[in-house]
Chains A and B, each alone.
Chain A
């Protein structure tokens, strides 16, 4: 709590509904998964950007509500779209209906593909929750609605210390790339590296609260990479986002995974 908005009067961000920076004294922080325009049955809503954006923010609202907060508590938003023109034409207005005059720090990216090829928008949030962390478990992982995915829709960190990892790629200690052209090997190596870093910080796979997986090809990742992910988390999943992008720092890299964890 104790939110402070940084450079709030700067006109460029003001006109676009976001804030250059937001600081909080983090007592309780919520990380949401990337949410999309799926309906209660798991199908993408029909009608393109406007209904998808509306449904996305409606679902985020339910997650916020589950955690006892509203859009005014959002510190950071990350909006992924596959069609920027559609977002500017109709998606932005749907977003405004939910955020009103509240302005989080924000990043917007145009990516190649989201989980479903017809998905036009995905949004994830970091939220500063009200209330005291005292007496609460370090992590509360929850779903606001049923879904079949290997992730939680929200993870609350109560009073812990946040751990930010660099984006992890399939590199060996000598700097060479493990598993050139091999999704499975790269996924295994990345989770091995993440495991080493977590251990060095006194954390475990269960300590991961948010994961973003950047892949060159979603189908290749799902088929050959996700088994290593399941073996790593063993059912105790973070909130997560999966995005297809056209490139990473080196041409050999097929996937890059960044995680945020929390320790007591």
Chain B
């Protein structure tokens, strides 16, 4: 893996994610914030945060694969949601996708995303 994970006993993550990652060479991939669009630009799972989260992580995986990487290439993700009440469903969908430790991670509740139907957006930085 072209990056290292940084750990320290004094500052620990509050959940199942990495505290910090350091790039150790190779290419840096910046991924746009992914929303629940299908390939045709239609919104998947209107009003259904689980369905949206599944689509978002599928789209994220698609960009990683097209860049020659996969989910394990991610150094950092930021998850933006519009309602904190949706976080448990998002966390569940996310854990199903990552099957282990998440990359370094940030969760933010925003006022809204760029379309009122979007409930979740995830962006990432990867080393590929």
Chain A residues close to B by CB (< 8 Å): 4, 6-7, 10-13, 15, 18-26, 29, 75-76, 82, 84, 104-112, 126, 161-169, 171, 173, 175, 192-194, 196-197, 199-201, 214, 245-251, 256, 258, 263
Q: Is A161's CB under 8 angstroms from B109's CB?
A: no
In the complex where A22-B29, A200-B6 touch, is A249 in contact with B67 (Cβ < 8 A)?
no
Among B25, B33, B41, B62, point to the contact of A106 (Cβ < 8 A). Answer: B33
Contacting residues of chain B (22-37) with chain A, CB-CB under 8 angstroms: 22-34, 37
B11, CB-defined interface residue at 8 Å: yes
Give B97 Cβ to nearest chain A Cβ, in Å: 17
Range for the number of chain B residues in contact with chain A? 35 or more
Q: Is A110's CB under 8 angstroms from B84's CB?
A: no
B72, CB-defined interface residue at 8 Å: no
Given the complex of chains A and B, what is the CA–CA distance between A82 and B110 in angstroms?
10
Chain B residues close to A by CB (< 8 Å): 6-15, 17-34, 37, 39-41, 59, 62-64, 66-67, 75-76, 78, 80, 84, 87, 104-114, 121, 123, 125, 128
Among B33, B37, B64, B123, point to the contact of A12 (Cβ < 8 A). Answer: B37
Give A84 Cβ to nearest chain B Cβ, in Å: 6
Q: Is A84's CB under 8 angstroms from B6's CB?
A: no
Given the complex of chains A and B, what is the CA–CA distance between A116 and B25 in angstroms?
39
Q: Is A173's CB under 8 angstroms from B9's CB?
A: yes
Give A170 Cβ to nearest chain B Cβ, in Å: 10
Q: Which residues of B contact A164 (CB under 8 A)?
A: 20-23, 75-76, 104, 125
Q: Which residues of B contact A167 (CB under 8 A)?
A: 78, 105-108
Q: Is B32's CB under 8 angstroms from A21's CB?
A: yes
Give A244 Cβ to nearest chain B Cβ, in Å: 9
Known: A105-B32, A193-B10, A200-B8. 11 other contacts (CB 8 A): A12-B40, A20-B63, A105-B31, A161-B22, A163-B21, A166-B17, A192-B11, A197-B6, A245-B109, A250-B14, A256-B106
Q: Which residues of A contact B33 (CB under 8 A)?
A: 106-109
